[in-house]
Structure 1
């Protein structure tokens, strides 16, 4: 066991030295030695160039984009793939992942909302919890991923790690383990902070890991979730949470032949409109599309659709 820990620690140190996104993102995994220590880590991942396929991206207005063929593990298109950007509520992919990975957390656990649910930032997306509300962990996670509730994110952080600070430490530690070394979190919900950032490639790494959990696929693909629970006085409460993803609720149309497997949106003034999504084609091929800092919601879905439309041309 001790030998395994030491070997893992050595691997992590060697990996972190090889990839410093703030300095040179294109240096990631550029070893030409097929026996490199990094091969096992990258075996199921695509590794893009910082810029690729610019001739196909002339109509894309987002500041950071990435299109990955997840079936063939091949990078297809990228722009500013290793540039640090504010992720807004796409942060909640990591929040959900941490909760799903914790062996002490079960979907039927009963959680009571406390003072952590109070969020002061104007315009924050909220599930509408009140202190004393009693919900299952599953209901809170659905609020997190469907409604994108900042109150749900804070509740997850507190119930999983005991405090927001301890949970954020877990988030940052997990990011480094995944190779997302251009990422730093300061909160569980993604509201604006200058020290809270990720990159298109790092967000792909995080989403790729989350997709290994069937529960995540369910949570991140629901169009409408109805939660029935009780408040502090024992009175019945029902909340209906519609997805913030325009594709899922019919406000935007995917290119013909594509469907949403799982996705998370994010929007703030600092981050613009963001979407991290796994889509499937009629042939069964899966595509990861990361779009950060589109100027508005309509453009965000235009950008995402353009990426998917170009997938056939760049294979």
Structure 2
């Protein structure tokens, strides 16, 4: 935990262009906001932080590619923790279903994958027009592993409500947990009100914060990487009467279902898409280059799905140049 408070402190300092004096005001922590850098550095916290993350100071954008017209774009070599490309990465953005990676992080920390989740009336009756649903009925039971798989691969919003209610008792309480996780991760420019990303003006993040969440997941949760790398999944569960049921879902990631090909020398491992009218078309990916380095790429608010994947290919092509 101390390491994460340090991460948040360093992030804020760098965003402000440097720390004046030796005092660091650490956000979200009333009992540590008077610690000095020297105190924080005892035990090697600064070295631990530097080894885990790429820190990009405000104004250090490296974006200059006219083909990358999305609102916010980021590519990081997560093996060496170096920025390859960055443009407008601290701009407040709506994440749409990329929100689901934050939900997954909270779920993996606060539940067991073999937990049995019961689908509630609320989860089974999302009425928002255009909301993507797995179609689970009230009273169905399913393991957390299967539910997270449907949630991340197919992007079913009903699965998100079920996860939230199982862990926190309500969507509102779960959103509080998401915001606490954002504080711990150092994602100081994010705020969430639901587990799925259906639009709310007070539900936002940045490309850099998405990197922080995604980096935490891919480096510490192999189960998450296993789930997001699947193109087609068969989800098994029990109906309200206890009978066996199953559904087959395809990934929303075009790379995984074969409708988009990555640039030569790049292997897409997995990722998460997101789309709403106000968020535009969004994508975060985990990929590997020919040098065996792993990369995290983020594109937020492309105009269309086609434009999103064309621009992601342009961004991934920079891996061979890094």
Question: What TM-score do you get using the length of structure 1 for normalisation?
Answer: 0.88
- Is it true that 1:54 corresponds to 2:63 in the alignment? yes
Given that 1:132 and 1:231 are in contact with CA atoms closer than 8 Å, whether structure 2 keeps it comes out as yes
Alignment of 1:33-72 (within 5 A): 37=41, 39=46, 40-49=48-57, 50-55=59-64, 57-72=65-80
Equivalent of 2:86 in 63, 72, 78: 78
Deviations 1:247-284 (A, max 9, x none): 10111111112112231110100100110111001321
RMSD: 2.4
Distance in 2 of aligned mates of 1:93 and 1:54:
25
The residue that corresponds to 2:28 in the other structure is none
Deviations 1:73-99 (A, max 9, x none): 101111111111000000000101111
The residue that corresponds to 1:130 in the other structure is 137
The residue that corresponds to 1:191 in the other structure is 198
User: What is the total number of aligned residue pairs between the two structures?
Assistant: 300
Distance in 1 of aligned mates of 2:209 and 2:126:
27
Distance in 1 of aligned mates of 2:21 and 2:82:
17
Structure 1 residues 114 and 197: alpha-carbon distance in aligned structure 2, compared to 1, 3 A threshold = same
The residue that corresponds to 2:299 in the other structure is 291
Alignment of 1:242-281 (within 5 A): 242-281=250-289
Give the Å deviation of 1:132: 1.1
Given that 2:11 and 2:55 are in contact with CA atoms closer than 8 Å, whether structure 1 keeps it comes out as no
Deviations 1:208-256 (A, max 9, x none): 0011101000111111110122211233322001100011011111111
Gaps of 5+ in 2: 23-36
Q: Which moved more, 1:161-170 or 1:230-239?
A: 230-239
Given that 1:19 and 1:29 are in contact with CA atoms closer than 8 Å, whether structure 2 keeps it comes out as no
Distance in 1 of aligned mates of 2:206 and 2:61:
15
Deviations 1:123-160 (A, max 9, x none): 11111111011111111010111011100000000001
Task: Give 3-state SS (helix, strand or coil) of 1:312's partner.
Answer: helix
Structure 1 residues 28 and 296: alpha-carbon distance in aligned structure 2, compared to 1, 3 A threshold = farther
The residue that corresponds to 2:118 in the other structure is 112
- Is it true that 1:201 corresponds to 2:208 in the alignment? yes
Equivalent of 1:27 in 6, 16, 39: 16
Distance in 1 of aligned mates of 2:153 and 2:121:
22
The residue that corresponds to 1:151 in the other structure is 158
Runs of 4+ in 1 over 4 A off after TM superposition: 14-20, 28-38
Gaps of 5+ in 1: none
Give the Å deviation of 1:58: 1.0
Q: Which moved more, 1:188-197 or 1:234-243?
A: 234-243
Distance in 1 of aligned mates of 2:69 and 2:175:
31
Q: Which moved more, 1:258-267 or 1:167-176?
A: 258-267
